[in-house]
Amino acid sequence: MTTSHAVEPSAGAPLLDLQSLLAAVRRRRRLWGSLALLGLLIGAAVAVLLPPAPTAVTTVLVTHAEDQPNDTGTLIRTDVELLGTTRIAGAALRSLGSSQKPEDFLREYRGTGLTNNLLRIEVTGDSDAKAVARAGALADAFVADHVRRMRRTADAEAQALQDQRDRMRKELAQVNKAIGAESPERDPKASASVESLFARRAELNSRIADFDERAAEARTGTPKVAAGTQIVDDARAVPHSLPRALVTDAVIGLVLGLVLGLAVAAVGAVVADRPVLRREIAAHLGTSVLAELRAGGRRAPAARARLTTTLARTVRGAKGPFALLELGCARTAGVLALGLAGALQAEGPVVVVDGLPGREATKAGRRGGPKVITAASDDPPDAGRRIGAGSVRPGTAWADLPYLGERAVLVVRAGHGSAAWLHTVARQLAERHVEVLGAVLVDPDPRDRTDGTLWNGGLHDGPGRYSGVAVPVAASRPRADRPPVPVPRVPSVPDSDQEVR
């Protein structure tokens, strides 16, 4: 199939093709698989080499004088912050007889509010016994500090109420003295003043009694707080299971490594812009995908044999040299060239011109097989049919490609070349009038269901002639063991770039 230029992606193509992205990520499974395995090993190593320090835990029931059913946890959060103060840490260390600094001890324990009244304390130590002793001392210090603070608060409140009561008692004594000094019989006009004094005395008596009651209630609440604040779960060591920690850390490392690997593979696929799907490679090269070859497996030799048969049929009916041009699969191209030469050797002398990097065709040649010469040497007079094996990878000497063959089949590894380079290959071959018959896709994505077929159609240039504009269409997948089918003639259409469904 002859094309004049590579097909440009349509203007309506999405900015990010999800199918292509998934295919590119699948092709990089070694990358994200390796990172996932590395994360698994790192997680397992952390569990073995960095085991957690011995830890003890205890639970304290904290009672507050201001407890309310609708409390949002403000009081218990205050208790957690108070637990992390040097005063409580210092009291716990003094009870243990330790010389450690309270500031250092603060980094070795933490408190967590479970409910509005439950406080869990976790403490680490050099051993389980030391961690348990630290947790118990810390819980006792917190309970004692909490009860002491509640008592001080109640005493201060009761003392304030008693001070108010004493001031009112002094005022009551003055009122009683004033009442005793007044005599209604001697001065009838003073009766109104006496009545107001009696009313004031009654009010003062009532308020004094109220202050006494409130002071008593303030002191009464302290025993409830002291009795309610207690350790409900004694300090105990937290059991540590190495197999469980190993499995947990390994799974966490596996997940993190897998996520990181998938992210790196996705970003790399978007940045590199290397086409993987058949339809994309065909569109960028401007030629159809004739067949595909797997990199390995039991069916690889059979597929290579079918492709060799197809290429031999194509070469038999044509004149002039024929070339296989590789991109990312030099060894595969060399094996195909030798296989094609071997299939044609019975019909006459065949010479393989090895222009592959690393002389892959020369390395793969065997005694008794077709003759292999390098591209730098001259053909002998009786060379016979010539089959070239060359490369179109970066650094290619484009002027030598017509020497290898006037017609060529591209052997391209999926995901190897960027979209820009595929355009460059198609343009260079068109400028040097190398007829591209199609492309063989090596190591394609196994889940690729796109077609990758192009056809020559479009503007009518004359009787029986059509322009060489390549238009991608959806068609059935071609088989490698069938000869190329001639393109059917179609009526001219108004727009040659319109996609045909």
pLDDT at position 3 over 50 = no
Q: Percent of the chain having pLDDT more than 70?
A: 79
Write the DSSP string, 73-135.
SHHHHHHHHHHTSHHHHHHHHHHHT----HHHHGGGEEEEE-SSSEEEEEEE-SSHHHHHHHH
pLDDT at position 37 over 80 = yes
What confidence category does residue 186 fall into, taking pLDDT thresholds of 50, 70 and 90? Answer: low
What confidence category does residue 276 fall into, taking pLDDT thresholds of 50, 70 and 90? Answer: confident
Give the C-alpha separation, 426 to 448, whole Å. Answer: 23
Give the C-alpha separation, 29 to 91, whole Å. Answer: 58
* The predicted structure's pLDDT at residue 484: 43
Which tops the pLDDT comparison, 3 or 47? 47
Question: Using only C-alpha atoms, what is the Rg of the chain?
Answer: 46
* The predicted structure's pLDDT at residue 145: 92
The CB density around residue 325, as the number of other CB atoms within 10 Å, is 27
Residues paired with 438 in a beta bridge: 409
Task: Please give the average per-residue pLDDT across 78-101, as a whole number.
Answer: 93
Q: Are 489 and 464 in contact (CB under 8 A)?
A: yes
CATH number of 273-473: 3.10.20, 3.10.590, 1.10.3470, 3.40.50?
Answer: 3.40.50
Of 5-14, 75-84, 315-324, 373-382, minimum mean pLDDT range: 5-14
Q: Are 265 and 36 in contact (CB under 8 A)?
A: no
* The predicted structure's pLDDT at residue 485: 40
**Please, what sign has the CA dihedral across residues 257, 263, 268, 274?**
positive
DSSP symbol at 482: S
pLDDT at position 258 over 90 = yes
| Residues 6+ away with beta carbon under 8 Å from 378 | none
* The predicted structure's pLDDT at residue 190: 61
What confidence category does residue 489 fall into, taking pLDDT thresholds of 50, 70 and 90? Answer: very low
Residues paired with 391 in a beta bridge: 326
| Residues 6+ away with beta carbon under 8 Å from 136 | 58, 231, 234, 235
Note the pLDDT tens digit of each residue in 468-486: 333 333 333 333 343 444 4
Q: Please give the single-letter amino acid code of residue 359.
A: R
* The predicted structure's pLDDT at residue 143: 93
The string over 358-374, giving b where at least 16 C-beta atoms fall within 10 Å of a residue's C-beta and e elsewhere, is ebbbbebbeeeebebbe
pLDDT at position 149 over 70 = yes
* The predicted structure's pLDDT at residue 383: 58
CA 299 to chain centre: 36
The CB density around residue 33, as the number of other CB atoms within 10 Å, is 14
* The predicted structure's pLDDT at residue 235: 92
Residues paired with 382 in a beta bridge: none
Task: Please give the average per-residue pLDDT across 422-439, as a whole number.
Answer: 90
- Confirm whether pTM is higher than 0.75: no
pLDDT at position 81 over 90 = yes
pLDDT at position 429 over 60 = yes
Q: Please give the single-letter amino acid code of residue 347.
A: E
Q: Are 481 and 500 in contact (CB under 8 A)?
A: no
Task: Please give the average per-residue pLDDT across 171-180, as a whole number.
Answer: 79
Note the pLDDT tens digit of each residue in 324-379: 999 988 888 888 888 888 888 878 888 888 888 877 666 766 665 678 887 766 55
Note the pLDDT tens digit of each residue in 191-223: 667 778 788 888 888 888 887 777 777 666 677
Which tops the pLDDT comparison, 6 or 434? 434
* The predicted structure's pLDDT at residue 467: 34
Task: Please give the average per-residue pLDDT across 69-89, as a whole number.
Answer: 89
Average pLDDT score over the chain: 79
Note the pLDDT tens digit of each residue in 107-139: 999 999 999 899 999 999 989 999 999 999 999
Give the C-alpha separation, 386 to 338, whole Å. Answer: 11
* The predicted structure's pLDDT at residue 483: 43
* The predicted structure's pLDDT at residue 305: 85
CA 43 to chain centre: 17
- SS3 letters across 272-298: HCCCCCHHHHHHHHCCCEEEEECCCCC
